[in-house]
Structure 1
Amino acid sequence: MRHGRDRTGTGREGRSLVDDVILLDEAGNEVGTAAKAEVHTAETPLHLAFSCHVAGPDGRLLVTRRSLAKRAWPGVWTNAFCGHPRPGESFEDAVTRHADRELGMRVSDVAPAVPDFRYRAVDAGGIVENEVCPVYTATADGEVRMNPEEVMDFAWTAPRDLAAALAAAPWAFSPWLVLQAPRLDLLRPDGGP
Protein backbone atom coordinates (compact mmCIF):
# COMPACT_ATOMS: atom_id res chain seq x y z
CA MET A 1 0.00 0.00 0.00
CA ARG A 2 2.76 2.44 0.74
CA HIS A 3 4.99 3.87 -1.89
CA GLY A 4 7.13 6.88 -2.54
CA ARG A 5 6.25 9.89 -4.62
CA ASP A 6 8.18 11.67 -7.30
CA ARG A 7 7.79 15.23 -8.59
CA THR A 8 5.59 14.24 -11.53
CA GLY A 9 2.62 13.26 -9.34
CA THR A 10 3.02 9.56 -9.95
CA GLY A 11 4.25 6.91 -7.58
CA ARG A 12 7.33 4.78 -8.07
CA GLU A 13 5.06 2.16 -9.60
CA GLY A 14 4.02 4.75 -12.20
CA ARG A 15 0.37 5.01 -11.15
CA SER A 16 -1.38 8.34 -10.73
CA LEU A 17 -1.81 9.70 -7.20
CA VAL A 18 -5.04 11.54 -8.07
CA ASP A 19 -7.23 9.09 -6.13
CA ASP A 20 -4.73 8.35 -3.39
CA VAL A 21 -5.05 9.24 0.27
CA ILE A 22 -2.18 10.38 2.45
CA LEU A 23 -1.07 7.84 5.05
CA LEU A 24 0.13 9.08 8.44
CA ASP A 25 2.16 7.74 11.34
CA GLU A 26 0.86 8.04 14.91
CA ALA A 27 2.46 11.49 15.24
CA GLY A 28 0.56 12.72 12.16
CA ASN A 29 3.53 12.74 9.78
CA GLU A 30 3.07 11.71 6.15
CA VAL A 31 4.51 8.26 5.51
CA GLY A 32 3.18 7.47 2.02
CA THR A 33 -0.02 7.07 0.08
CA ALA A 34 -2.62 4.39 -0.60
CA ALA A 35 -5.33 4.01 -3.20
CA LYS A 36 -8.56 5.51 -1.86
CA ALA A 37 -10.50 2.50 -3.14
CA GLU A 38 -8.36 0.16 -1.00
CA VAL A 39 -7.80 2.11 2.21
CA HIS A 40 -11.15 1.69 4.04
CA THR A 41 -11.27 -1.85 5.38
CA ALA A 42 -11.48 -3.61 8.74
CA GLU A 43 -7.84 -2.55 9.24
CA THR A 44 -7.85 0.99 7.87
CA PRO A 45 -4.48 2.70 8.37
CA LEU A 46 -4.34 6.18 9.85
CA HIS A 47 -4.76 8.70 7.04
CA LEU A 48 -5.57 12.34 6.32
CA ALA A 49 -9.14 13.50 5.69
CA PHE A 50 -11.38 16.50 6.38
CA SER A 51 -15.00 17.27 7.33
CA CYS A 52 -16.91 20.33 6.19
CA HIS A 53 -20.01 21.97 7.67
CA VAL A 54 -21.83 24.22 5.21
CA ALA A 55 -24.13 27.07 6.22
CA GLY A 56 -26.65 28.74 3.96
CA PRO A 57 -27.17 32.51 3.78
CA ASP A 58 -29.93 32.18 6.41
CA GLY A 59 -27.62 30.42 8.89
CA ARG A 60 -29.15 26.97 8.54
CA LEU A 61 -26.74 24.04 8.23
CA LEU A 62 -26.67 21.47 5.47
CA VAL A 63 -26.89 17.84 6.56
CA THR A 64 -26.67 14.98 4.10
CA ARG A 65 -27.59 11.33 4.10
CA ARG A 66 -24.77 9.17 2.78
CA SER A 67 -25.52 7.10 -0.30
CA LEU A 68 -26.26 3.41 0.23
CA ALA A 69 -23.34 2.80 -2.17
CA LYS A 70 -20.87 4.22 0.36
CA ARG A 71 -18.50 1.65 1.84
CA ALA A 72 -18.58 3.08 5.37
CA TRP A 73 -21.73 4.22 7.16
CA PRO A 74 -24.08 3.90 4.15
CA GLY A 75 -27.43 5.65 4.60
CA VAL A 76 -26.33 7.57 7.72
CA TRP A 77 -27.03 11.28 8.23
CA THR A 78 -23.92 13.43 8.60
CA ASN A 79 -22.45 16.89 8.06
CA ALA A 80 -22.48 18.42 4.56
CA PHE A 81 -19.56 16.34 3.26
CA CYS A 82 -16.20 14.79 4.03
CA GLY A 83 -13.27 13.82 1.88
CA HIS A 84 -9.56 13.31 1.50
CA PRO A 85 -7.07 15.85 0.22
CA ARG A 86 -4.99 14.56 -2.66
CA PRO A 87 -1.20 14.49 -2.23
CA GLY A 88 0.02 18.07 -2.61
CA GLU A 89 -3.51 19.56 -2.46
CA SER A 90 -4.46 22.20 0.12
CA PHE A 91 -7.41 21.55 2.40
CA GLU A 92 -9.20 24.59 0.96
CA ASP A 93 -8.85 23.21 -2.57
CA ALA A 94 -9.97 19.74 -1.42
CA VAL A 95 -13.06 21.22 0.28
CA THR A 96 -13.97 23.17 -2.87
CA ARG A 97 -13.44 20.11 -5.08
CA HIS A 98 -15.57 17.83 -2.91
CA ALA A 99 -18.38 20.39 -2.56
CA ASP A 100 -18.62 20.46 -6.34
CA ARG A 101 -18.28 16.69 -6.87
CA GLU A 102 -20.61 15.52 -4.10
CA LEU A 103 -23.16 18.35 -3.95
CA GLY A 104 -22.79 20.20 -7.25
CA MET A 105 -22.30 23.29 -5.11
CA ARG A 106 -19.82 26.11 -4.90
CA VAL A 107 -18.70 27.17 -1.44
CA SER A 108 -16.94 30.26 -0.10
CA ASP A 109 -15.48 31.42 3.20
CA VAL A 110 -13.76 28.05 3.77
CA ALA A 111 -12.19 28.24 7.23
CA PRO A 112 -10.74 25.80 9.77
CA ALA A 113 -13.00 25.19 12.79
CA VAL A 114 -11.40 22.22 14.60
CA PRO A 115 -7.93 21.77 13.10
CA ASP A 116 -6.81 19.00 15.47
CA PHE A 117 -9.80 16.64 15.16
CA ARG A 118 -8.88 12.94 15.04
CA TYR A 119 -11.06 9.87 15.46
CA ARG A 120 -11.36 6.14 14.95
CA ALA A 121 -14.74 4.42 14.58
CA VAL A 122 -16.06 1.08 13.33
CA ASP A 123 -19.37 0.78 11.47
CA ALA A 124 -21.87 -2.09 11.73
CA GLY A 125 -20.25 -3.85 8.75
CA GLY A 126 -16.79 -3.75 10.36
CA ILE A 127 -15.36 -0.97 8.18
CA VAL A 128 -12.99 1.27 10.12
CA GLU A 129 -12.54 5.01 9.79
CA ASN A 130 -9.15 6.02 11.21
CA GLU A 131 -8.46 9.63 10.38
CA VAL A 132 -6.72 12.83 11.27
CA CYS A 133 -9.64 14.90 10.07
CA PRO A 134 -9.48 18.71 10.39
CA VAL A 135 -12.97 20.21 10.46
CA TYR A 136 -13.87 23.16 8.21
CA THR A 137 -16.83 25.47 7.80
CA ALA A 138 -17.97 27.08 4.55
CA THR A 139 -20.82 29.12 3.14
CA ALA A 140 -23.05 27.75 0.37
CA ASP A 141 -22.97 29.62 -2.93
CA GLY A 142 -25.84 28.09 -4.88
CA GLU A 143 -28.24 25.17 -4.79
CA VAL A 144 -27.50 21.55 -3.96
CA ARG A 145 -27.39 19.18 -6.93
CA MET A 146 -26.68 15.83 -5.28
CA ASN A 147 -24.34 13.27 -6.78
CA PRO A 148 -26.34 10.07 -6.08
CA GLU A 149 -23.14 8.04 -5.74
CA GLU A 150 -22.29 10.17 -2.70
CA VAL A 151 -25.53 11.58 -1.27
CA MET A 152 -29.05 10.14 -1.19
CA ASP A 153 -30.82 13.00 0.62
CA PHE A 154 -30.15 16.37 2.22
CA ALA A 155 -31.82 18.90 4.48
CA TRP A 156 -31.19 22.41 5.76
CA THR A 157 -31.63 22.67 9.52
CA ALA A 158 -31.24 25.22 12.27
CA PRO A 159 -28.06 24.59 14.26
CA ARG A 160 -30.00 24.30 17.54
CA ASP A 161 -32.31 21.67 15.98
CA LEU A 162 -29.32 19.65 14.76
CA ALA A 163 -27.68 19.92 18.20
CA ALA A 164 -30.90 18.68 19.83
CA ALA A 165 -31.18 15.75 17.39
CA LEU A 166 -27.55 14.77 18.01
CA ALA A 167 -28.16 14.78 21.76
CA ALA A 168 -31.42 12.82 21.51
CA ALA A 169 -30.42 10.20 18.92
CA PRO A 170 -26.65 10.09 18.34
CA TRP A 171 -26.93 6.62 16.75
CA ALA A 172 -28.81 8.17 13.81
CA PHE A 173 -25.75 10.21 12.76
CA SER A 174 -22.18 9.56 11.69
CA PRO A 175 -19.81 9.11 14.63
CA TRP A 176 -17.56 11.90 13.38
CA LEU A 177 -20.45 14.38 13.43
CA VAL A 178 -21.38 13.33 16.96
CA LEU A 179 -17.75 13.70 18.11
CA GLN A 180 -17.26 17.05 16.34
CA ALA A 181 -20.44 18.69 17.63
CA PRO A 182 -19.22 19.55 21.17
CA ARG A 183 -16.21 21.30 19.66
CA LEU A 184 -18.17 23.41 17.16
CA ASP A 185 -19.60 26.74 18.29
CA LEU A 186 -22.13 26.55 15.45
CA LEU A 187 -23.71 23.46 17.03
CA ARG A 188 -24.25 24.84 20.51
CA PRO A 189 -27.81 23.97 21.60
CA ASP A 190 -28.39 27.60 22.64
CA GLY A 191 -27.11 29.17 19.43
CA GLY A 192 -28.12 29.60 15.83
CA PRO A 193 -31.34 30.58 14.12
Structure 2
Amino acid sequence: MVEEEIVLLNADDEAVGTAPKAASHHSDTPYHLAFSCYVVDTDGRVLITRRALGKRTFPGVWTGSCCGHPAPGEKLRDAVRRRLRDELGIAGASLTSVLPGFRYRAVAEDGTVEHERCPVVRATVAPGGAVARNPEEVEAAEWWPWERCLELTGRPESSPWYRLQMAELAPLGAPLDWPDAGAAPLPPAVGW
Protein backbone atom coordinates (compact mmCIF):
# COMPACT_ATOMS: atom_id res chain seq x y z
CA MET A 1 0.00 0.00 0.00
CA VAL A 2 1.38 3.40 -1.01
CA GLU A 3 1.51 6.00 1.76
CA GLU A 4 -0.70 9.02 1.10
CA GLU A 5 1.18 12.28 0.42
CA ILE A 6 0.02 15.81 1.16
CA VAL A 7 0.95 18.98 -0.74
CA LEU A 8 2.86 21.48 1.40
CA LEU A 9 2.13 25.17 0.82
CA ASN A 10 3.88 28.48 1.38
CA ALA A 11 2.15 31.66 2.58
CA ASP A 12 1.05 32.40 -1.01
CA ASP A 13 -0.63 28.96 -1.26
CA GLU A 14 1.95 27.76 -3.78
CA ALA A 15 3.11 24.14 -3.64
CA VAL A 16 6.57 23.89 -2.07
CA GLY A 17 6.85 20.13 -1.68
CA THR A 18 5.13 17.02 -0.43
CA ALA A 19 5.20 14.99 2.76
CA PRO A 20 3.70 11.75 4.08
CA LYS A 21 0.23 12.49 5.43
CA ALA A 22 0.41 10.34 8.55
CA ALA A 23 3.80 11.60 9.69
CA SER A 24 2.90 15.25 8.99
CA HIS A 25 0.03 15.64 11.44
CA HIS A 26 1.45 16.46 14.88
CA SER A 27 1.88 19.46 17.20
CA ASP A 28 3.67 21.44 14.46
CA THR A 29 1.75 20.33 11.36
CA PRO A 30 2.98 22.19 8.28
CA TYR A 31 0.54 24.33 6.27
CA HIS A 32 -0.86 22.11 3.51
CA LEU A 33 -3.62 21.63 0.95
CA ALA A 34 -6.91 19.95 1.85
CA PHE A 35 -10.63 20.27 1.06
CA SER A 36 -14.04 19.89 2.67
CA CYS A 37 -17.19 18.74 0.91
CA TYR A 38 -20.86 19.09 1.79
CA VAL A 39 -23.14 16.61 0.02
CA VAL A 40 -26.56 18.19 -0.52
CA ASP A 41 -29.54 16.43 -2.04
CA THR A 42 -31.96 18.24 -4.33
CA ASP A 43 -34.45 18.39 -1.43
CA GLY A 44 -31.95 20.58 0.43
CA ARG A 45 -30.83 18.05 3.04
CA VAL A 46 -27.14 17.90 3.98
CA LEU A 47 -25.20 14.70 4.66
CA ILE A 48 -23.51 15.24 8.03
CA THR A 49 -20.96 12.70 9.24
CA ARG A 50 -19.27 11.69 12.44
CA ARG A 51 -15.58 10.94 12.01
CA ALA A 52 -14.54 7.38 12.88
CA LEU A 53 -13.47 6.88 16.47
CA GLY A 54 -10.17 5.40 15.28
CA LYS A 55 -9.15 8.52 13.32
CA ARG A 56 -5.85 10.00 14.51
CA THR A 57 -7.05 13.60 14.26
CA PHE A 58 -10.32 14.79 15.75
CA PRO A 59 -11.90 11.31 16.20
CA GLY A 60 -15.65 11.16 16.77
CA VAL A 61 -16.48 14.78 15.92
CA TRP A 62 -19.50 15.67 13.77
CA THR A 63 -18.66 17.57 10.62
CA GLY A 64 -19.51 18.05 6.94
CA SER A 65 -19.87 15.15 4.54
CA CYS A 66 -16.22 14.40 3.82
CA CYS A 67 -12.79 15.92 3.72
CA GLY A 68 -9.40 14.96 2.42
CA HIS A 69 -6.16 15.99 0.77
CA PRO A 70 -5.55 16.29 -2.96
CA ALA A 71 -2.58 14.14 -3.93
CA PRO A 72 0.39 15.82 -5.62
CA GLY A 73 -0.74 16.77 -9.15
CA GLU A 74 -4.39 15.79 -8.50
CA LYS A 75 -7.08 18.32 -9.41
CA LEU A 76 -9.47 19.34 -6.63
CA ARG A 77 -12.52 17.96 -8.44
CA ASP A 78 -10.83 14.55 -8.81
CA ALA A 79 -9.77 14.50 -5.14
CA VAL A 80 -13.32 15.27 -3.99
CA ARG A 81 -14.78 12.54 -6.20
CA ARG A 82 -12.18 10.04 -4.92
CA ARG A 83 -12.96 10.76 -1.27
CA LEU A 84 -16.75 10.74 -1.82
CA ARG A 85 -16.40 7.29 -3.35
CA ASP A 86 -13.92 5.96 -0.75
CA GLU A 87 -15.59 7.39 2.36
CA LEU A 88 -19.28 7.33 1.45
CA GLY A 89 -19.73 5.23 -1.68
CA ILE A 90 -21.12 8.25 -3.54
CA ALA A 91 -20.56 8.68 -7.28
CA GLY A 92 -21.99 10.99 -9.91
CA ALA A 93 -22.41 14.12 -7.80
CA SER A 94 -22.42 17.56 -9.42
CA LEU A 95 -19.59 19.61 -7.84
CA THR A 96 -19.54 23.36 -7.16
CA SER A 97 -16.70 25.44 -5.69
CA VAL A 98 -18.29 27.35 -2.80
CA LEU A 99 -15.55 28.69 -0.47
CA PRO A 100 -12.34 28.41 -2.51
CA GLY A 101 -10.39 30.69 -0.16
CA PHE A 102 -11.17 28.95 3.13
CA ARG A 103 -8.20 28.25 5.42
CA TYR A 104 -7.94 27.44 9.10
CA ARG A 105 -5.73 26.26 11.94
CA ALA A 106 -7.13 24.14 14.78
CA VAL A 107 -5.62 22.26 17.71
CA ALA A 108 -7.12 18.96 18.92
CA GLU A 109 -7.35 17.96 22.58
CA ASP A 110 -4.22 15.81 22.20
CA GLY A 111 -2.26 18.74 20.77
CA THR A 112 -2.40 17.61 17.14
CA VAL A 113 -2.69 20.59 14.80
CA GLU A 114 -4.58 20.92 11.53
CA HIS A 115 -3.28 23.80 9.42
CA GLU A 116 -4.89 23.80 5.99
CA ARG A 117 -5.89 25.77 2.93
CA CYS A 118 -9.17 23.96 2.63
CA PRO A 119 -11.45 24.92 -0.29
CA VAL A 120 -15.08 23.99 0.38
CA VAL A 121 -17.07 22.18 -2.30
CA ARG A 122 -20.78 21.35 -2.57
CA ALA A 123 -21.66 17.98 -4.11
CA THR A 124 -25.29 17.86 -5.26
CA VAL A 125 -27.05 14.49 -5.53
CA ALA A 126 -30.57 13.18 -6.03
CA PRO A 127 -32.62 12.51 -2.88
CA GLY A 128 -32.67 9.01 -1.49
CA GLY A 129 -29.25 8.06 -2.83
CA ALA A 130 -27.57 5.23 -0.99
CA VAL A 131 -24.64 5.98 1.28
CA ALA A 132 -22.11 3.20 1.87
CA ARG A 133 -19.89 4.60 4.62
CA ASN A 134 -16.37 3.30 5.12
CA PRO A 135 -16.25 2.50 8.87
CA GLU A 136 -12.52 3.26 9.00
CA GLU A 137 -13.34 6.84 8.00
CA VAL A 138 -16.95 7.47 9.03
CA GLU A 139 -18.66 6.40 12.26
CA ALA A 140 -22.10 7.69 11.19
CA ALA A 141 -23.67 9.49 8.22
CA GLU A 142 -27.09 11.16 8.45
CA TRP A 143 -29.19 13.40 6.20
CA TRP A 144 -30.03 16.59 8.13
CA PRO A 145 -32.23 19.60 7.37
CA TRP A 146 -30.31 22.87 7.09
CA GLU A 147 -31.67 24.18 10.40
CA ARG A 148 -30.17 21.22 12.27
CA CYS A 149 -26.82 21.81 10.53
CA LEU A 150 -26.86 25.38 11.82
CA GLU A 151 -27.67 24.20 15.36
CA LEU A 152 -24.62 21.88 15.34
CA THR A 153 -22.30 24.89 15.16
CA GLY A 154 -23.09 25.69 18.79
CA ARG A 155 -22.26 22.22 20.04
CA PRO A 156 -18.81 21.09 21.26
CA GLU A 157 -19.04 17.79 19.39
CA SER A 158 -18.75 19.60 16.03
CA SER A 159 -15.36 19.93 14.36
CA PRO A 160 -13.61 23.30 14.57
CA TRP A 161 -13.42 23.58 10.78
CA TYR A 162 -17.16 22.86 10.53
CA ARG A 163 -17.92 25.77 12.87
CA LEU A 164 -15.62 28.11 10.91
CA GLN A 165 -17.01 27.00 7.54
CA MET A 166 -20.60 27.37 8.69
CA ALA A 167 -19.88 30.95 9.78
CA GLU A 168 -19.12 31.66 6.11
CA LEU A 169 -21.75 29.36 4.58
CA ALA A 170 -24.76 30.45 6.67
CA PRO A 171 -24.85 34.00 5.20
CA LEU A 172 -25.00 32.46 1.71
CA GLY A 173 -28.45 31.01 2.45
CA ALA A 174 -29.70 27.44 2.13
CA PRO A 175 -27.22 24.93 0.66
CA LEU A 176 -28.89 24.75 -2.76
CA ASP A 177 -28.59 28.57 -2.98
CA TRP A 178 -24.85 28.71 -2.32
CA PRO A 179 -23.37 30.51 -5.34
CA ASP A 180 -20.64 29.03 -7.50
CA ALA A 181 -17.46 30.88 -6.51
CA GLY A 182 -15.62 29.55 -9.55
CA ALA A 183 -12.11 28.18 -9.86
CA ALA A 184 -10.15 31.46 -10.07
CA PRO A 185 -9.89 31.95 -6.27
CA LEU A 186 -8.52 28.42 -5.71
CA PRO A 187 -4.95 28.22 -4.46
CA PRO A 188 -2.27 28.10 -7.18
CA ALA A 189 -1.28 24.66 -5.89
CA VAL A 190 -4.44 22.98 -7.24
CA GLY A 191 -6.56 23.14 -10.38
CA TRP A 192 -10.30 22.64 -10.53
1:70 to 55, 64, 72: 55
Map 1:95-106 → 2, pairs under 5 A = 95-106=80-91
The equivalent residue for 1:47 is 32
Which runs of 5 or more structure 1 residues have no equivalent in the other structure? 1-15
TM-score (norm 2): 0.84
Relative contact order: is structure 1 or structure 2 higher (C-alpha 8 Å, sep ≥ 6)?
2
Aligned residues: 173
Amino acid at match of 1:161: R
The answer for the alignment partner of 1:90 in structure 2 is 75
Does the residue aligned with 2:74 lie in a helix, a strand or coil?
coil
Divergent runs of 4+, >3 A: 185-188
Q: Offset at 1:111?
A: 1.0
CA distance in 1, matches of 2:150, 2:172: 5
Q: CA deviation at 1:42?
A: 0.9
Larger mean Cα displacement after TM superposition, 108-117 or 136-145: 136-145
RMSD over aligned CA atoms reads: 1.8
* Rg (Cα) greater in structure: 1
CA distance in 2, matches of 1:31, 1:192: 34
Which residue in the other structure is 1:9 paired with?
Answer: none
Which residue of the other structure, out of 12, 19, 26, is the alignment partner of 2:4? 19
* 27-36 vs 133-142, which moves further: 133-142
**Counterpart residue type for residue 81 of structure 1:** C
* Partner Cα distance (2:56, 2:12) in 1: 27
Which structure 2 residue ranges, 5 or more long, are not aligned? 177-192
**Deviations 1:48-94 (CA, angstroms, capped at 9, x unpaired):** 00000001232100000000111111000000000000111110000
2:138 corresponding residue in structure 1:
151
Q: Is the 8 A contact 1:60 1:158 kept in 2?
A: yes
- Alignment correspondent of 2:44: 59
CA distance in 2, matches of 1:123, 1:112: 27
Contact 2:152/2:158 (CA < 8 Å) preserved in 1?
A: no
Q: Give the whole-Å Cα distance in 2 for the aligned partners of 1:87 and 1:68.
A: 28
- Percent identity (aligned): 45
Structure 1 residue 162: Cα displacement: 1.0
Distance 1:148 1:109 in 2: 24
Please give the alpha-carbon distance, in whole angstroms, between the structure 1 residues aligned to 2:130 and 2:171: 21
CA contact (8 A) 2:150 2:170 kept: no
